[in-house]
Chain A
Amino acid sequence: MMMNPVLRREMRTSLRNWRVFGAIMLYVLFVAGGAGIFLYVNMFESYNYGFDPRNMVYLYAILCAMQMGLVLITTPALAAGSISGERERQTLDLLLVTKMSQFSIVIGKLVSSMGLILLMVIATLPIFAVVFYFGGVTLPALLGMIGFILLTACMAGSISIFFSCIFKRTVISIVMVYLVIGGLCFGTLLATALYYTSYWNLYQKDPGLIVPILLLVGNPGVGFFSVIDGQLGTNFVETVFRIYGTQNGWTNWVVKNYWVVNAAANVAIICFFLAMATYFVNPIKGKRK
């Protein structure tokens, strides 16, 4: 069994690159800083109200949310140059004439950027020790959360690689990925809100759950809160959906386990964009017959 050559090379060079090391440090500093601020504020309040270890689960939620946000910001920066960067460096043709299939090239690129993300996330794990010290969250829950974050990163990564294939310049593909991810995170929220108000204006009644369920299916934020709901017993996602109507039957299940739907949507998005990337990286795609 041979390791994907692109992955092997990327790993070799990125471990040699001090910028990668710097980025990981910066990432850890961000998360640690977030934890620090939370603890500081908490200590301050504990003078007045007494220290409540139950607050530590909120630290968990905040740390995870920061990870999620940072991962969504970092992934495009890492992955959106993967193909266009080779093109700019004039190494892409040399890669395309080899026996590596277009799919292996794309996968090698995706996995190598995911490897770096994984490294960043693992580097922050010691910070989570604080949460475990006070209890309230189990290790399997943390692992599940990390899995969800990585899946989301994978989704962002495959979109990045797709844009990297179709745009000649890395800068443009990075901008495009941020636009799409921004659209997924905030655009879909805005769209559901607009749907709600316009529906009310037209019919003066609740619009029902189906449209918002579909609109938010790829929203990483909603998926994240659904995971948090499942782990901490909160009701963020249900509360939001309740605005749109009463849930019954299958919508009830979907709303309670929205992260499952979200994860499935992520998988679908990943498959779609990887297939598109594989198609577009092929120089002789418009095969004539």
Chain B
Amino acid sequence: MLEIKNLVKKYGMVTAVNNFNLVVKKGSIYGFVGPNGAGKTTTMKIMAGLLPATSGTIRIDGFDVTEQSKLLKQKIGYMPDFFGVYDDLKVMEYMDFYAGTYYIPYKERPALINSLLEIVDLAHKKDAYVDSLSRGMKQRLCLSRSLVHDPDLLILDEPASGLDPRARVEMKEILKQLQTMGKTIIISSHILPELAEICTEIGIIDHGKLAAEGTVQEIMRRLEKNRILQMKPLKHMDKLCQVLQEQPNIVDIMESTDYVEFAFNGTDEEASRLLANIISAEIPILSFKEKEGNLEEIFMRVTGGDEK
């Protein structure tokens, strides 16, 4: 479906994308994860034909993006990370305008637009002014806009950013539905767990390079190898640390006033066994959880795992 080879993008001195290689198979949902400035948006813009690459090739179904722009515009649906709307248009007219930009005949438009609005659950807002929609609704509207020409490949740049948890769930449902419709989807985010739920494959991008890649299970297994766990005892902090030191798979114990953090490189089963051991040592435990890492940490762990 999509094949990126040796893609390089330089903004003057800054190298935003540095020798990027990627293959996305038809029907998959591919997640781009990476910290701010990793080059996700840049890569996606180049794919959508909105930025020239410094070098390298992007092929979609075997066609070079830069040479077959007409054909590619048909194949790609793009949703940018930031976008605006025309304030004097109603939802129906907004969709009609974009249907027009893809030269869809007038008489086919109402049915098409209705079915698209149905998918993103905005059918009831047909006659509202676009400007009056909430952020989440605008995001969904923009997604349905990118579907008007029935593209095979959707490039969605952080479609869930700025949405509340409920809206995120809705967005995920919509994406799953699109996948069942046979679309290939590339989606970016800087929150890994969010992508993990819907993606079939994940690529971790940092400094314009694909740092790690694989199915969700593969990535998760690697993450498991080296995670930070947090344990909060009711009392007996000293005893807890002592017991922890005797346990397998534990490195780097850090003691704080009311909790302990440690790096753990065992599996989930080993983690639960660890907890059982501590409880049987008669230390009262209030909480035991994985420390919510930001992407930087997750990323460090993933690449750290690579080196071993």
Contacts and interface: CB of A to CB of B under 8 A. Distances in A.
A2 to B, nearest CB: 6
B14 interface: no
A16 interface: yes
Contacts of B36: none
A16 B131 CA distance: 15
B286 to A, nearest CB: 47
B101 A100 contact: yes
Contacts of A54: none
A89 B145 CA distance: 17
Contact of A8 (B50, B73, B97): B97
Interface stretch (B76-84, B170-178, B211-219): B76-84
Contact of A2 (B50, B82, B103): B103
A283 B80 CA distance: 15
A2 B89 contact: no
Interface in B85-107: 85-86, 88-89, 93, 97-98, 100-103, 105-106
Nearest to A288: B52
Nearest to B85: A91
B86 to A, nearest CB: 6
A89 B86 contact: yes
A188 B181 CA distance: 63
Interface string B201-212: 000000000000
Interface in A64-118: 89-91, 93-100
Given A13-B89, A283-B49, A283-B50, A90 B82 contact: yes
Nearest to A96: B50
Given A5-B97, A288-B55, A98 B86 contact: no
Contacts of A94: 80, 83, 98, 142, 145
Interface string A278-289: 000001111110
Contacts of A99: 70, 73-74, 101-103, 149
B78 A91 contact: no
A205 interface: no
Given A91-B85, A91-B86, A284-B52, A97 B76 contact: yes
B101 A91 contact: no
Interface residues of A, number: 27
Contacts of B100: 2-3, 5, 8-9
B101 A93 contact: no
A13 B76 contact: no
B41 to A, nearest CB: 11
B106 A97 contact: no
Contacts, number: 84
A12 B89 contact: yes
Contacts of B82: 90
A87 B52 CA distance: 18
A97 B73 contact: yes
A93 to B, nearest CB: 5
Nearest to A14: B88
A98 to B, nearest CB: 4
B51 interface: yes
Q: Chain B CB within 10 Å — which of A9, A13, A97, A100 has the most? A: A97
A204 interface: no
B160 interface: no
A48 interface: no
Contacts of A12: 88-89, 93
Contact of A283 (B51, B73, B85): B51
B185 interface: no
A87 to B, nearest CB: 10
Nearest to B99: A5
Interface string B139-150: 000100100010
Interface string B54-88: 01000000000010011001101010101111101
A17 to B, nearest CB: 6
Contacts of B186: none
Shortest beta-carbon contacts, A-B, top 10:
A5-B100, A98-B101, A90-B84, A13-B88, A89-B84, A284-B52, A9-B97, A97-B78, A100-B101, A5-B101
Given A98-B102, A99-B101, 19 more contacts: A2-B100, A2-B105, A5-B101, A8-B97, A8-B100, A9-B93, A9-B97, A12-B89, A16-B88, A89-B84, A90-B82, A90-B84, A91-B83, A93-B48, A93-B83, A97-B73, A98-B73, A99-B103, A288-B55
Interface of A: 2-3, 5-6, 8-9, 12-13, 16-17, 89-91, 93-100, 283-288
26 contacts: A2-B103, A5-B97, A5-B101, A8-B100, A9-B89, A9-B93, A9-B100, A12-B88, A13-B88, A17-B88, A89-B84, A89-B86, A90-B83, A93-B80, A95-B101, A96-B50, A97-B48, A97-B49, A98-B101, A99-B73, A99-B103, A284-B51, A284-B52, A287-B52, A287-B66, A288-B52
